[in-house]
Structure 1
Amino acid sequence: MAIFPDRVAAGRELAAALEHHRGADAVVLGIPRGGVVVAAEVARALALPLGVAVVRKLGAPSREEFAVGAIADGVRVVDPAATRLHGVTPEELAAVEASERVELERRNRLFAETPLEVEGRTAIIVDDGIATGATATAACRAQRGRGAARIVLAAPVAPLRWLPEDTVVDEFVCPHREREFWAVGQFYDDFTQTSDEEVARLLARDLP
């Protein structure tokens, strides 16, 4: 059952749940692509800078929509239980990772050529939803590695039983924790894939 008309509406609701960060020394980092649409609404509502946290899911070769891990700059997250469940061999995982590293670099060049400074600041990392948590975890670890003083993970919807590791995330904000959860898209009326051009437009809109 859908909860949100689209990502813009989800972003507005998430912004309300993050209102206590208004005026903080913080940046909002969306996970491309769809997470940037949500993050743009959060950044606009809270008057905070908008950037990106580039990360790539490592999908199971047989079912790419199921994450067995994720990568970001200097970070590699792999879920051994997921790799066993989907029968992913080390060779298959290496091939998936090699392909995703190419896309990671492409997106870094396209969206994050001049990344926002996070050292000593609060990094609010936003996605349009959390399924397995692999990409969110990788994104948070990457920003911690860049020196963020505090990591806030924010998403409109996530599985009821999922929680981030407290060593990775200082605060988790999620207005909708759902018991029946199959995919993020089930909670949106419009979950159309976001284009590179839309992400670039949203980021450009936030430039001074």
Structure 2
Amino acid sequence: MMFADRRDAGQRLGQHLQELGLADPLVLALPRGGVAVGLEVAKALGAPLDVVLVRKIGAPWHKELAAGAVVDGDQPELVLNNDVVRGYGIDESYLEDEMARQLEEIERRRRLYLGGRQRPRITGRTAIVVDDGIATGATVRAALHAVRRAGPRELVLAVPVASPEVLDRLAADADRIVCLHPDPDLMAVGQYYRDFRQVEDEEVVAMLEEAARHQGPESA
């Protein structure tokens, strides 16, 4: 399965989610690429869109390989990919330093993306965590943990593409998983998109504003 771009993937994912009849949905997207997918999902469901601020921690000698991820919140949480941590012999001091560095980036993004706007409540709703695809699953797992702490009625993970093996590992972290194209041969998420250009911060801000205009006033 190929997608033209992230918005195309979001439209297809949104159509599928419409059929599930999810109660009181809230779409929570992972910046940056997941916001383009999440915007179209939110439109399809008539749901508000918010972000889950989470950052990958790369292995010391291979930054694209996720050793774990850190997620924002009242109590920031570090979720580790233990196979990578053990396999690369990554020490605790490296992880602590990287966690501090990534929390600084999360704070920068929070100020830029959210400004002073009121965020929609998660408690008691169907929370739908959306990304543009899943490679290792470290950042998604961190996001799911953070959202779970907020007390949703149901926690759904929805993505256009992912490895079935990774989805199996995430099964315990969500109540339901929706994936349009589980592919055991997945090497990189970008191979399933004809246009997979990087999403810039300014585009994320514009998409969140577009979602707010589409949704209208959100009750707390």
Relative to the length of structure 1, the TM-score reads 0.93
- Percent of residue pairs bearing the same amino acid type: 43
Instruction: Report if aligned partners of 2:25, 2:45 keep a CA contact under 8 Å in 1.
Output: no
Residue 102 (structure 2) aligns with:
100
Counterpart CA distance in 2 for 1:48 and 1:115 is 13
Letter in structure 1 aligned against 2:196: F
Residue 203 (structure 1) aligns with:
208
Counterpart CA distance in 2 for 1:184 and 1:11 is 14
Residue 90 (structure 1) aligns with:
92
Instruction: Report if aligned partners of 1:164, 1:172 keep a CA contact under 8 Å in 2.
Output: no
- Which of residues 120, 127, 132 is equivalent to 2:131? 127
Letter in structure 1 aligned against 2:148: R
After superposition, give the CA deviation of every residue in 1:38-77 in whole Å (9 maximum; x if it has no partner).
Answer: 0001111121111111111111121111111111123220
Counterpart CA distance in 2 for 1:186 and 1:84 is 29
Counterpart CA distance in 2 for 1:34 and 1:205 is 16
Letter in structure 2 aligned against 1:104: I
Instruction: Report if aligned partners of 2:10, 2:40 keep a CA contact under 8 Å in 1.
Output: yes
Q: CA deviation at 1:105?
A: 1.4
Counterpart CA distance in 1 for 2:162 and 2:172 is 19
Counterpart CA distance in 1 for 2:140 and 2:202 is 23
Counterpart CA distance in 2 for 1:23 and 1:169 is 15
Q: CA deviation at 1:137?
A: 1.0
* Of 45-54 and 28-37, the range deviating more from structure 2: 45-54
Q: CA deviation at 1:19?
A: 1.4
Instruction: Report if aligned partners of 1:61, 1:96 keep a CA contact under 8 Å in 2.
Output: no
Letter in structure 1 aligned against 2:152: A
* Aligned residue runs from structure 1 range 1-208, under 5 A: 3-22=2-21, 24-72=23-71, 73=73, 74=75, 75-112=77-114, 113=116, 114-162=118-166, 163-207=168-212, 208=216
Distance 1:171 1:14, change over 3 A: same
Structure 2, gaps ≥5 residues long: none
Structure 1, gaps ≥5 residues long: none
Q: CA RMSD in A?
A: 1.6
Counterpart CA distance in 2 for 1:201 and 1:195 is 10
Q: CA deviation at 1:165?
A: 3.9
Q: CA deviation at 1:108?
A: 2.0
Counterpart CA distance in 2 for 1:106 and 1:145 is 23
* Larger fraction in helix: 2
After superposition, give the CA deviation of every residue in 1:94-135 in whole Å (9 maximum; x if it has no partner).
Answer: 222121111111122222453221111010010000111111
Distance 1:142 1:5, change over 3 A: same
Counterpart CA distance in 2 for 1:111 and 1:200 is 5
Counterpart CA distance in 2 for 1:21 and 1:39 is 17
Counterpart CA distance in 1 for 2:191 and 2:58 is 19
* Of 82-91 and 169-178, the range deviating more from structure 2: 82-91
Q: Helix, strand or coil for the counterpart of 1:161? A: helix
